[in-house]
Amino acid sequence: MSLLHFVRRAPSSARAAPIAFGSITALALLVPTSLVASSANDEPLIRSTESGPVKVELRLEPARPTIGDTLLLTLTVTAEQGVELLMPEFGEALERFTIVDFVPRERVDDARRTVSTQRYRLQPPSSGRQLIPPIMVEYVDRRPGQRSAPEGLDAYEVLTDRLEFEVGSVLPGDGELELRPALGELGPRAVPSESKGRLLTMIVALVAIIVPLAIWGALRWRRRAQRLTAYQLARARLDRLLAKPFPGPQQVDPFFVELSAIVRRYLEDRFELRAPELTTEEFLVAVGQAGAFCRESFSAISPEHQALLREFLRLADLVKFAGIQPSNDDIRQSIDAAGRFLDETQQNAPMVAGISFDRAPAKAG
């Protein structure tokens, strides 16, 4: 026989407080519990309890599991129309088991009864005798003419019967455990011979030498792979500039600033001139004096290339500083002059340390 426990519930803000003396106010007899079980392993264990308009069924499958099996525990509560169900919290009374999965559901059947289910997939902690303690279900009777809850309580409470079952072991019941004797004592640890010790030392020494050399060589190769000649770098900058739309009246000034800066930067990298620090006039004087501000490599600039630079830089200054608006032919001639100067002086161009495509060109004075 199961009992319907009417236990005084504390206010919601302190529901977990201890029960006061005299709080048990009523006891009601329940319908006898029915047990449906079978000797077969695939038959479930079922415990059913009824209390007024509520029926509770607890089902466990399989009835005789083996350690390692997953248990399926289903709590099904059916309530008449107008009865509010308060299902147990997740994992209530199942602390000793490992919960693998939990699926709660609620529906209304054809008779307009509320059917709430909680389905657990459990792993037992060990083999042997196991127990699922009673699980509490609460409800409030809101049907017309019915008392919603016992006097002084929030809701009716129903406890399921405890569910006992056996978890089988994977070991045979009639098997005998054989205890083997302990292993013998270990012998002395073998000491490597002198020749093996020398070989090991040589291997460690070789690794200590080869690994740093390999790392150094890889880094050096990577740095060399990333280097370009001064011509390649300047030509790449010029090609990137020419890939933009042809400059209109509003873009002419910044276009000539960038174009002249590419040439000046090339001179700095190619001929070791201090071009960015000199004004155009100072630079042209340096070209004419053939070494006043330059190094020995300056002699690589021929008179024809000096004249080409002079016309190119003067037109660039007129556009940048005098506000002269060049024609489209003047712009094309300046582009051709810059490209021609780069192409005709590329021979023996030195390597430039690192790729600097994205670095802004130096300002031209």
Residue 3 confidence (pLDDT): 38
CA–CA gap between residue 264 and residue 261 (Å, rounded): 5
**49 found inside a domain:** yes
Same domain, 83 and 160: yes
Residue 327 confidence (pLDDT): 87
From the list 9, 7, 56, 47, the residue with the least C-alpha distance to 27 is: 7
Same domain, 150 and 258: no
**181 found inside a domain:** no
**216 found inside a domain:** no
The type of residue at 87 is M
Residue 245 confidence (pLDDT): 92
The total of structural domains in the chain comes to 2
Residue with tokens 């059916």: 78
Residue 330 confidence (pLDDT): 87
Same domain, 236 and 322: yes
**289 found inside a domain:** yes
Same domain, 234 and 155: no
Same domain, 53 and 156: yes
Same domain, 157 and 246: no
Same domain, 236 and 343: yes
Query: Under a CB-based contact definition with an 8 Å cutoff, are residues 266 and 231 in contact?
Result: yes
Alpha-carbon 172 to chain mean position: 47
Q: What is the pLDDT of residues 133-161, one digit of tens each?
A: 999 999 999 999 999 999 989 999 999 99
Residue 77 confidence (pLDDT): 96
Query: Under a CB-based contact definition with an 8 Å cutoff, are residues 120 and 179 in contact?
Result: no
CA–CA gap between residue 196 and residue 185 (Å, rounded): 27
Ranges of residues in the chain whose predicted pLDDT is under 70: 1-42, 172-177, 190-194, 221-227, 271-277, 283-301, 352-365
The answer to whether the pTM exceeds 0.95 is: no
Same domain, 158 and 32: yes
The C-alpha angle with vertex 89 and arms to 86 and 92, in degrees rounded to 5, equals 125
Domain end: 167, 184, 209, which one?
167
Residue 177 confidence (pLDDT): 62
Same domain, 277 and 160: no
DSSP per residue, 55-104: EEEEEEE-SS-BTTPPEEEEEEEEE-TTEEEEPPPTTTT-TTSEEEEEEE
Please state, in angstroms and as integers, the Cα–Cα distance from residue 150 to each residue in 6, 27, 270, following that order. 7, 10, 101
3-state secondary structure 288-347: HHCCCCCCHHHHHCCHHHHHHHHHHHHHHHHHHHCCCCCCHHHHHHHHHHHHHHHHHCCC
Residue 72 confidence (pLDDT): 94
**201 found inside a domain:** no
Domain end: 152, 167, 182, which one?
167
Domain hosting residue 114, numbered range: 3-167
Same domain, 132 and 265: no
**200 found inside a domain:** no
Task: List beta partners, residue 117.
Answer: 76, 105
Domain end: 117, 145, 167, which one?
167
**195 found inside a domain:** no
Same domain, 150 and 241: no
Same domain, 145 and 266: no
**360 found inside a domain:** no
